[in-house]
Amino acid sequence: MKNTEQSIQKQFGDVADKYATSAVHAKGADLQTLLHAAELTGTEVVLDAGCGAGHTALTVAPYAAEVIAYDLTAAMLAQVEQLVAARDLTNISTQQGDVAELPFADTSFDRVVSRFSAHHWTQPLAALREFKRVLKPGGFIVLTDVISLDDLTVDTYLQAIELLRDPSHVRDHTVAQWHALFIDAGFTPETVDQFDIPLPFVDWHTRMNTPAQYVTVLRDLFTKAPQTVRDQFKLPAELSEDFTFTIYGAVIRAQLPSNKS
C-alpha cells in the first residue's frame, strides 16, 4: 500500500467516530446545495466517493434508488453502517477502496458525489477519469471540498496548517485548478457555490487527535500570521484559547457529454 494511503487509513481509522458526530461534516448548508445540484429523481444509482462517516450518502439516499458509500478506511465505513442502521435505510451499501482505482464496471452510475474528501486524493486526475469511466453518458459529479485561494502566502499558510493538523492531507486546490482538472478528464465544470467554513480551533485539532507539539506550532502560526492571512482567515485581533478562524469551500458540478468518448 502506498505511504499516503497508509497515512489516511491510520489517521482516519483512529478518529472515525469523531467524524460521525462532527458538526462540520454532519450539517452545513453545503449538504443541501450538493443535494440540489445532484438533481435526483429517485431512480439514480449514486456513488459517494470518499464517503467518510457517510453524511453525504445519508443525505442523498432518500432521493436515489441506490447509494454506494465508498471509502479507503474500513473504520469510516463501519461508522456509515452504524448510521445507516440507526436510520433504518435500506438502499445504502458500503465498499472499501481507492478513488483512483474503482472496482466498478463502466457506466455503472448516474451520479458521483464527493464531499470534503478530495484534498486527500494523491491522484485527483486519475480519480476524475475513473469517475468518467463509471458514469453513464450525460452523468455528472457534484464535488464539495475545501478550496485554496490564489494568493500564494494564503495558500502556503493553508497547506501548512492542514498538513500539521493532519499528515494525510495532500492539497486544497483552487477553484480554477479544479476546473482545469475536470476539463482535462473530459467534464464540463461549473461552480455552483462558494461558502465560508468557520472552524473553532480546539474542535478542529481535537477532531484529528493532533499531537500537542503540533498544536503549539499551529497556534504560533496563527499568532504570527501576516495581515493578508489574518484577513482571509478572519482571525480576531486577539486570539483566545479557542478562537474561530475561517477557511473556504466550493461546490462544483461537472457533467459528461451525452455521448462519452
What are 130-142's pLDDT values in tens digits? 999 999 999 999 9
Residue 238 lies in a domain: no
Q: pTM for this one?
A: 0.90
User: 159 lies in a domain?
Assistant: no
160 falls within a domain:
no
- Please write the tens of the pLDDT for every residue from 55-68: 999 999 999 999 99
Query: Which pLDDT belongs to residue 24?
Result: 52
pLDDT on residue 28: 79
Which range marks the domain in which residue 29 is found?
3-147+169-199+247-255
pLDDT at 29: 86
Q: Which residue has the cell 504560533?
A: 220
Query: Is 223 among the domain residues?
Result: no
Q: What pLDDT is attached to residue 31?
A: 94
For position 16, what pLDDT does the model report? 44
pLDDT below 70 — which residues of the chain? 1-27, 260-261
Q: What is the CATH number of the domain that holds 40?
A: 3.40.50.150
- 58 in any annotated domain: yes
Enumerate long-range contacts of 201-209, CB under 8 Å, 24 or more apart: 201/242, 201/243, 201/244, 201/245, 202/241, 202/242, 203/242, 204/165, 205/165, 206/18, 207/15, 207/18, 207/19, 207/22, 208/11, 208/15, 208/165, 208/166, 209/14, 209/15
Considering the domain boundaries, does residue 106 fall inside one? yes
Can you state the angle between helices 175-185 and 124-134, rounded to 10 degrees?
A: 50
* Residue 215 in domain: no
Please check whether residue 237 lies inside any domain of the structure: no
Counted domains in the chain: 1
pLDDT at site 25:
47
